[in-house]
Amino acid sequence: MAGLPFELTVFDKAYVNKGPLGAPKSLSGQVVKNAIGSLEFTLPADHPRIPALTASGARVLANYRPPGRDEQFLISGAVEQVDGGGPRHSPWRKFAVEDDFSVLTGEVQCWPNPTGTIAQQGDDEAYFTVTGPAETVLKAILAPNVTRQGTVLTIPATAGLGATITGSVRFHTAFERLFPAVEQAGLGVRVRQAGASRILEVYVPETYDRELTQESGIVVSGEYSVSRPTITRVTALAGGEGTARVVRQKIDAAREAEWGVVMAATRDARDVASDDPNLEALLLARMDETLAEGASKASLKCELTETESFRYGVTFALGDKVTIRLADAPPITDYVRSVDFSWSKDDGVRITPRVGEWSDVSNDPLIERVVELTRAVSNLEKR
């Protein structure tokens, strides 16, 4: 159909191209920064691609063409669910596709000895530990496990992007052990189909340099909340048993002074051997992670709409950093965390970017600004 900005292509489980889909009855989905996105579309039951889409392991690659720009990758993944219904004269089939980011959340199990057999995985204290730039750690942990499992995933050589982190795995997924540390290191990660393979892409988000406001028509709605910290000091316990364990503590004195609370937590680091030459650095990194998890939480939600100067795939991308001003509040900077997209014959194309976690995020500058806004509102209410 002329003007349709989305192009869907069907593949089988071996990544063999089965042909383009054409215009569906309707389409919707969401791409998400450092998380699993989704895609759903509905077809008439007599559509010629139905047999390929209902075959086991069927896959879909979706591209998006912004106005005046070349086609670009949107989302890819395997068909995870098929629904059907409708009246006898016009039945339909609906297909749900799971984002290939699931490679990180469920497909690849990371072993403590990724090149060994199942009998060579060691005892309960055996972990595979890597320290370095966040991109390097992610790829170093994934690569041998992807090879061992035979997972379809191409992992380019690391460029050493991101701040230094430490990752330790023992039959975990990369997502549950390395995120949000990878994001806190300043990186975005996605997995996309390219030809007969999938590629792990790690990138540094760009910054949109214009402040977004409600007056501009870009910010449709927004809300925020703030909560006090849950951890102000942490004790880390390295390997060994009983008195043989190495114990270290880190206290965020500034946090305790600001909030007037002492909130203690313990971090089990038994995977770090007491004779590890990097013991102190590893324990410090673990304590920093725990303190970050227990920091003051600011929840920011903003729904945006596209304009000529703010258009997905043209002037901004998923994960880009933007600055938003809500009413008379100080400017707040966060990321484009997700982009909702949809198309139907009646409504046409709709693109809805969302800024903020839509769940708790920890960011000291953000917290400070939200606290300022909260106090300002409180003062107004007392007048």
Expressed in percent and rounded to 5, the helix, strand and coil fractions of the chain are: 20, 40, 40
Look-up of token digits 């364990």: 245
Assess whether 118 and 237 both reside in one domain: no
Please give the tally of structural domains in the chain: 4
Taking only the tens of pLDDT, the chain with its 383 residues reads 446 899 999 999 999 999 999 989 999 999 999 999 999 999 999 999 999 999 999 999 999 999 888 899 999 999 999 999 988 888 999 999 999 999 999 999 999 999 999 999 987 778 898 989 999 999 999 999 999 999 999 999 999 999 988 888 999 999 999 988 898 899 999 999 999 999 999 999 999 988 888 888 888 887 766 678 999 999 999 987 666 789 999 999 999 999 999 999 999 888 788 888 888 988 998 898 899 889 886 556 788 888 888 999 999 999 999 988 777 666 778 889 999 999 998 888 999 998 876 544 444 444 455 445 444 443 333 23
Dist. CA 368–CA 88, nearest whole Å: 59
Q: Is residue 1 part of a domain?
A: no
DSSP string of 206-258, one letter each residue: PB--S-EETTTT-EEEEEEEEE--S-SEEEEEESSSGGGS-EEEEE-HHHHHH
Q: What's the pTM? A: 0.77
302 shares a domain with 284:
no
Rg (CA), the chain: 24
Residues contacting 118, CB < 8 A, separation 6+: none
pLDDT the model gives residue 296: 81
Report the amino acid identity of residue 145. Answer: N
Supply the range of the domain harboring residue 12. 6-97
Q: Is residue 154 domain-resident?
A: yes
* Same-domain status, 152 and 188: yes
Indicate if 192 and 170 belong to the same structural domain.
Answer: yes
